[in-house]
Structure 1
Amino acid sequence: MKRFSVLFLIFLSLTFTIIGLKPVFSISTTNIYKQGIYTLSDFNTAKDGVYSVSNVSATENMSIIITDKEQNILQSIRLKTNSEKHNTIPIDPNDTIILLGKGAVYINPVELTE
């Protein structure tokens, strides 16, 4: 039985490499952020400084607050569980992004078309 299990796992991993599928546990979560204080250098840079944000948590709400270098609030977004994508205002390199809540937020650069 032990030999069968080992052979099964080897063939399963070979199948993934041949077909080009990625197992769920190997998908990168580099754009998912938890509660904390971030700067623009922590994210993938956007050409126009605009990012799409969505709450990927199924049970917890999240809040995003964007402040300038004098801590004036520029934008505040409340994200409900499994929210749709919302675009931020253009963020400058000196701005601070504050994430509040126990969930996780997916932040991805947006390319604006004119």
Structure 2
Amino acid sequence: MSKNRRNSPYVKACLFMLCSILCGIVAISLVPMVLADLGLSPDAAGWVEASLGATWVLVGGIGAFAIRCPMCGRSLFKRRWSIHVPWPAERCSKCNYDLTNET
């Protein structure tokens, strides 16, 4: 990756999504195993898992809306007709701005 693209909105959005996916995998698979190994009751473990899941959804959703096109302000995860997708666009679907360039 060239130096001028490291700070592009597209790269930031890709890194955000990869981190969100990794955190989701940890919250769904590893946390229940650790809680079971620690001997936490199933009811308490359920509350911890539900809290982590809700936090993951909120942070992921708000973060996805916060990463926007520098020209028009549209979310990188929003496509035509207000359809939201899990991966950012390389070009803005509203103003056709190249999001892989550094801002």
| Structure 2 length-normalised TM | 0.25
TM-score norm. by structure 1 comes to 0.23
Q: Highest CA radius of gyration, 1 or 2?
A: 1
Larger helix percent = 2
The structure with more strand, counted as a fraction of residues: 1
